[in-house]
Structure 1
Amino acid sequence: MQASTTPPGATYPRAVLFDLLTALLDSSTVWNAAAGSEEKGRAWRAEYLRLTYGCGAYVPYEQLVKEAARNAGMADSAPDALEAQWDTLPVWDGARELLLALQPHCKLAVVTNCSRQLGHRAAARLGIGWDAVVTSEEAGFYKPDPRPYRAALDQLGVQAEDAAFIAGSGYDMFGTSVVGLRTYWHNRVGLALPQGAPPPELQGATLAPALPWLRTFASAQTL
């Protein structure tokens, strides 16, 4: 008989949902390269995020990227350069290890603010078989509207109280709090929580604390 890989006393959630382009992938590096510098990349990405979080109902992702580039004074070629480098998105250290550790115990899903094409291409960078990949295009809304998170839960057949979310942006907390998803924030660069956002249950600068947090999921529900 093969020995169990579940640590003694571990109680995992039934499903773990992930932000993709910040929590698992270092998309900012590709934005900076397409923009020509880190400073320009930050300005472009900040404008894109402002447009995304403000629009709610889905507007084509590529359209928002181009509009943000114009608003931030980027060259017309920048959006094409971003898409050309899309399949080189770097994976954060510890991301694959976390997914492989969870896969025997939990359903795994992506909830990402992206087009269907680019979202599924980015999800493939992790090299695992996802149980669900939900993009804003497919859900019809951008996060932090609660509908993309709920769409993933519906596809998985899991209730929010039996699932957890790994966020990459503090804005995710607006949506996950409405849905009832306990949340770990992979806050890589130590950003402040957006004004008015409920705090995550736990946050860290790496993904390392997420696994022990998820292993004690059920017992923490009783707190």
Structure 2
Amino acid sequence: MADFKPKAIIFDLLTALLDSWAIWDAAIPEDENSITTGQAWRKHYLEITYGCDAYKPYEDLVRQSAKDVGLSPSAPQTLLERIDEIVPWPEVPEVLAQLKGLGYKLAVVTNCSNELGHRAISNCEKAVREMTDMKDFEFDQTVTAEESGYYKPNPKPYRDTLQKLDVAADEALFVAGSSMDVPGASDVGMRVAWHNHVGLPRWNERVPWREGKTLGEALGDVLN
């Protein structure tokens, strides 16, 4: 595979960098575990979000997805209350610190509200500072769906992030958390690496530039 050295790397947040799957399982009340799994609920939520286009309150989409799969209102309420418990995948802090040390601009674009998105971003940055030698780590730019006015895969959130970073699409690498981001980021001109940590199936026929079970595997030579 040919070398590619971007100027900037843009990440999906809640799947590519953070293990948000665990909290969806934990949010389901014990007496409702027979109704559905956290993964099934989360997959339905992703379908709703990626089909939404113009921004609607993120919290409403979480509640709608829970209702659609038969869960009571307590499940999404618990999920939203526990957003601060979402932590990065084990290798993520070291990889982010390494990328920053190599001089890459780093950004996040997330299908989330401003409040919850920035809380999750702050938790990720805090983990990097606490678990590595990079004590001043911060992302260079962040964009939420609420800020952009649209949910991915609408092109606007990706383009807003590129504009904030002041880089062209062909100078950036997008790291997807689900295959739904692959066509969205590709269509604005970015190469896409898919960090498929939980082994999700492809939901479309678009093939990423790279795919890996860990963030390091997904990035490949970009880390060198």
What is the CA distance between 1:34 and its match in structure 2?
Answer: 0.5
- Alignment of 1:205 with 2:198, yes or no, is no
Kept after mapping to 2: 8 A contact 1:40/1:74: no
CA–CA distance in 2 between the matches of 1:65 and 1:72? 11
CA–CA distance in 2 between the matches of 1:13 and 1:195? 25
Unaligned runs of 5+ in 1: 1-9, 217-223
- Whichever residue aligns with residue 215 of structure 2, its letter is L
What is the CA distance between 1:111 and its match in structure 2?
Answer: 0.7
- Whichever residue aligns with residue 35 of structure 1, its letter is I
Within the candidate set 67, 77, 80, 1:80 is matched to 77
5 Å-filtered alignment, 1:59-208, equals 59-104=56-101, 105-127=103-125, 128-196=137-205, 198-208=206-216
Aligned residue for 2:199, secondary structure, equals coil
5 Å-filtered alignment, 1:20-59, equals 20-36=13-29, 37=33, 39-59=36-56
- Tell me which residue corresponds to 2:129: none
Cα separation, partners in 2 of 1:191 and 1:210, compared to 1, 3 Å? closer
Cα separation, partners in 2 of 1:186 and 1:211, compared to 1, 3 Å? closer
CA–CA distance in 1 between the matches of 2:74 and 2:198? 28
Aligned residue for 1:117, secondary structure, equals helix
Kept after mapping to 2: 8 A contact 1:11/1:215: no
Kept after mapping to 1: 8 A contact 2:9/2:172: yes
What is the CA distance between 1:59 and its match in structure 2?
Answer: 0.7
CA–CA distance in 1 between the matches of 2:45 and 2:218? 28
Aligned residue for 2:201, secondary structure, equals coil
- Tell me which residue corresponds to 1:4: none
- Whichever residue aligns with residue 113 of structure 2, its letter is S
- Aligned identity (percent) is 47
TM-score after normalising by structure 1: 0.87
CA–CA distance in 1 between the matches of 2:38 and 2:200? 17
Cα separation, partners in 2 of 1:141 and 1:126, compared to 1, 3 Å? same
Aligned residue for 2:194, secondary structure, equals strand
Unaligned runs of 5+ in 2: 126-136
What is the CA distance between 1:11 and its match in structure 2?
Answer: 7.1
CA–CA distance in 1 between the matches of 2:11 and 2:214? 14
TM-score after normalising by structure 2: 0.86
Aligned CA RMSD, in angstroms, stands at 1.8
User: After TM superposition, what 4+ stretches of structure 1 lie above 6 angstroms from structure 2?
Assistant: none
CA–CA distance in 2 between the matches of 1:47 and 1:186? 20
CA–CA distance in 1 between the matches of 2:178 and 2:19? 12
CA–CA distance in 1 between the matches of 2:200 and 2:66? 23
Cα separation, partners in 2 of 1:211 and 1:194, compared to 1, 3 Å? closer
Q: Aligned residue pairs: how many? A: 206
What is the CA distance between 1:215 and its match in structure 2?
Answer: 4.5
Cα separation, partners in 2 of 1:211 and 1:199, compared to 1, 3 Å? closer
